[in-house]
Amino acid sequence: MKKQLQLQDFVDGFKKKDIAILSRAITLVESKNIEHQKLARQIIDTFYKQTGKAKRIGISGTPGVGKSTFIDTFGMSLIDAGLKVAVLAIDPTSQKTGGSILGDKTRMHQLAASKEAFIRPSPSGTTLGGVASKTRESMLLCEAFGFDVVIVETVGVGQSEVTVSQMVDFFLLLMQPGGGDDLQGIKRGILEVADLVAVNKADGDQQTQASIALQEYSTAIKILHHGDSAWTPKVIKCSGLKGIGLDEIWNSVLEYYKIMEKDQQLQFKRDQQLKSWMWSMLMEKVENELTQNDQLNKKLLRTQQELIENKLNIMQATQQIFDSLTHMEK
Ligand SMILES: Nc1nc2c(ncn2[C@@H]2O[C@H](COP(=O)(O)OP(=O)(O)OP(=O)(O)O)[C@@H](O)[C@H]2O)c(=O)[nH]1
Ligand SMILES: [Mg+2]
């Protein structure tokens, strides 16, 4: 059995840069145990003022596009430049497999072995929304701990890349070279949220294809760009495996921050993200109250029954539930 840690242990551990303590803090954040959640909240409260200094970067791409390989070499190039890098994963598929990104840790073998890096797989067994919320909290802890760059990785299937784009400053989309057919298959929504599209695996005999893909994505991005941001998305060729184009990508990230920090645009983006985070937490809290508070839940079920029996109409039913929530005893 591991020793039960107190708030002070986390304060000391963070000061000493004890990575095992950061890990334990994230485990508390992810825990469903009420006591653990309470302590997790205290830890975040304590460190909240020290958060927000890291560069938050989302990286997404379809399975096999080379995310792990890319993050490994890209992350190492940042570490070589003197930065500390944390990698958090949101993997909606891990609910079924129990954590495919865990196996991935071995694919990021350089980062996994580096003292300047921290890799954390997605907590499994919850909804995408739940995972996202935990990842946001873990991101704050990584920032408070002193990581300069927090990478949030997600598999490009479904809604998760949009979710990730809403919690990071900069969203990098990895693409495969592979001709025009590819473009048809890409969901427009993903391209719309990308700040940079990296055509990966631009090495060996795939270089010509990568150049063609670069042209196509550039055209697509130009059409899709709304022009409502000071930043114009870019398309760059790279190879995670061979380490090609990584500097160019990092320079784009730096350029992005320079542009977005003018006129407080980045702050505005983060404020918007914070507001929508608050709303989703609030909704989650309401849902929890209604399902977990016995008294409220009974009322809810009764009202629901009356609704389907036509004793109440939908307006009355909703109002009744709302009233019981707002008149709840504290
Ligand atoms: N030629 C080439 N192959 C690469 C490159 N990056 C990755 N690969 C290969 O592509 C395959 C998938 O790479 P991963 O890094 O595991 O891809 P991933 O996107 O993390 O995959 P999932 O975790 O399954 O979503 C492996 O066989 C890699 O060796 C690259 O830059 N060039
Ligand atoms: Mg991977």
Q: What is the pLDDT of residues 12-41, one digit of tens each?
A: 999 999 999 999 999 999 998 989 999 999
- Cβ–ligand 1 distance for 237 under 6 Å, the answer no
- Cβ–ligand 1 distance for 105 under 6 Å, the answer no
182: left (phi over 0), alpha (psi -120 to 50) or beta: alpha
Ligand in nearest proximity to the CA of 72: 1
| Atom number of ligand 1 nearest to Cα 239 | 31
Instruction: Look at residues 65, 64, 54 and name the one whose alpha carbon lies nearest to residue 198.
Output: 65
Percent of the residues in the chain that have a pLDDT greater than 70, as a whole number: 90
154-199 pLDDT, tens digit each: 887 678 888 899 999 999 999 988 744 455 556 677 888 899 999 9
Run of H or E including 199: strand 196-199
118-138 pLDDT, tens digit each: 999 887 666 777 788 899 999
**Per-residue confidence (pLDDT) for residue 190, from 0 to 100:** 82
pLDDT band at 98 (very low <50, low <70, confident <90, very high): very low
| Atom number of ligand 1 nearest to Cα 206 | 1
pLDDT band at 114 (very low <50, low <70, confident <90, very high): very high
- Cβ–ligand 1 distance for 201 under 6 Å, the answer yes
- Cβ–ligand 1 distance for 136 under 6 Å, the answer no
203-254 pLDDT, tens digit each: 999 999 999 989 988 988 888 777 778 899 999 999 999 999 999 999 999 9
Instruction: Look at residues 306, 286, 305 and name the one whose alpha carbon lies nearest to residue 296.
Output: 286
Q: How many angstroms separate the alpha carbon of residue 101 from the centre of ligand 2? A: 6
Other CB atoms within a 10 A radius of the CB of residue 209 amount to 17
Q: How many angstroms separate the alpha carbon of residue 35 from the centre of ligand 1? A: 40
Half-sphere exposure of 67 (CA within 13 A, CB side): 24
**Per-residue confidence (pLDDT) for residue 160, from 0 to 100:** 83
Tokens (6 digits) for 197: 């599209």
Q: How many angstroms separate the alpha carbon of residue 168 from the centre of ligand 1? A: 23
State the greatest distance between any 2 C-alpha atoms of the chain, in Å, as a whole number.
70
Confirm if 27 and 121 have CB atoms less than 8 A apart: no
Tokens (6 digits) for 125: 């067994």
Torsion of CA 154, 155, 159, 160, to 10 degrees: -20
Q: How many angstroms separate the alpha carbon of residue 223 from the centre of ligand 2? A: 30
Rounded-to-integer distance, Cα 89 and Cα 245, Å: 23
- Cβ–ligand 1 distance for 66 under 6 Å, the answer yes
Which strands form 196-199's sheet, in the order they lie side by side? 117-120, 85-90, 149-155, 55-61, 170-175, 196-199, 234-237
Q: One-letter amino acid identity for 305?
A: Q
Q: How many angstroms separate the alpha carbon of residue 69 from the centre of ligand 1? A: 6
Read off φ and ψ for residue 98, nearest 5 degrees. Answer: 80, 30
| Atom number of ligand 1 nearest to Cα 155 | 25
Q: How many angstroms separate the alpha carbon of residue 106 from the centre of ligand 2? A: 10
**Alpha helices (H) along 98-155:** 100-104, 109-113, 128-145
Q: Estimate the crossing angle of helix 265-292 against helix 128-145, to 10 degrees.
A: 130
Protein residue with its CA nearest to atom 27 in ligand 1: 64
Protein residue with its CA nearest to atom 24 in ligand 1: 63
Sheet strands (E) in the chain: 55-61, 85-90, 117-120, 149-155, 170-175, 196-199, 234-237
Q: How many angstroms separate the alpha carbon of residue 166 from the centre of ligand 1? A: 25
Burial class (CB in 10 A: 0-12, 13-18, 19+), 81: exposed
